[in-house]
Amino acid sequence: MGFEGRNCETELNECLSAPCQNNGTCDNTIGSFNCACAQNYTGATCEREHTASTEPFSGSNW
């Protein structure tokens, strides 16, 4: 990640390695990258499936 070249003058495109999983979209940034995850996925590289909480309503919970 980051830069290459004799004087670190060339910024690398970290998205070329397709780091985002599960149909996430990669955005190359200076020295790094960000993943925009598809619905129901989370994590730095969209590696975790996000499931909704299904706690039942009871008592005074609304």
Residue pair 27/7 in contact (Cβ under 8 Å)? The answer is no
Q: According to the model, what pLDDT value does residue 51 have?
A: 81
Cα–Cα distance, 3 to 10 (Å, whole number): 5
Q: How many domains does the chain have?
A: 1
More confident residue, 25 or 11: 25
Structural domain containing residue 29:
3-38
Query: Which CATH number is 9's domain given?
Result: 2.10.25.10
| Any domain includes 8 | yes
CB-hemisphere CA count at 13 Å for 5? 8
Look at residue 27 in the predicted model and tell me its pLDDT. Answer: 97
Q: Does the pLDDT at position 32 exceed 80?
A: yes
pLDDT, one tens digit per residue, over 33-60 is 999 999 999 999 999 998 876 666 666 6
Residue 46 belongs to a domain: no
